[in-house]
Amino acid sequence: MASLRVSCVVALMCMVVITAPMSEAAISCGSVAGALAPCLNYLTGRSSLSPGCCIAVRRLNAQAQSSPDRKDVCNCLKGAAGSIRGLNLNTAATLPGKCGVTLPYTISPSTNCNAIGI
């Protein structure tokens, strides 16, 4: 009888876990880097701004709906700004505006993403 109760409890717990909505994963730096790959040549001065780059910027901005997602993207962009060899920081800072996106921060290695009300 006790084993039947344990089995029922385990089965019920499994059903709750299976039917519970999965929490949404935060936006990873890998996905940010992948999304903005079409912009790399522009950001390093090897090409002009392409429509594909702006599409990527707008798409990434649309994906970052919650404040934690926006802070994750900010931190990823901050890290990338400090690590991409040949990155033109002025070009990176003006990229969102050139693509019609307004950000409450500048893409820079010195941006404090935690202090921004995003």
Structural domains present in the chain: 27-118 (1.10.110.10)
| Rounded Cα distance, 100 and 40, in Å | 18
pTM of the model: 0.74
86: left (phi over 0), alpha (psi -120 to 50) or beta: left
Angle at 50 between CA 48 and CA 56, to 5 degrees: 135
| Nearest to 107, CA basis, from 70, 81, 72 | 81
For residue range 55-99, list pLDDT tens digits in order.
Answer: 999 999 999 989 999 999 999 999 999 999 999 999 999 999 999
Say whether pLDDT at 41 is over 60. yes
Q: Taking all residues of the chain, what is their mean pLDDT, rounded to a whole number?
A: 82
Q: What is the largest CA-CA distance in the chain?
A: 74
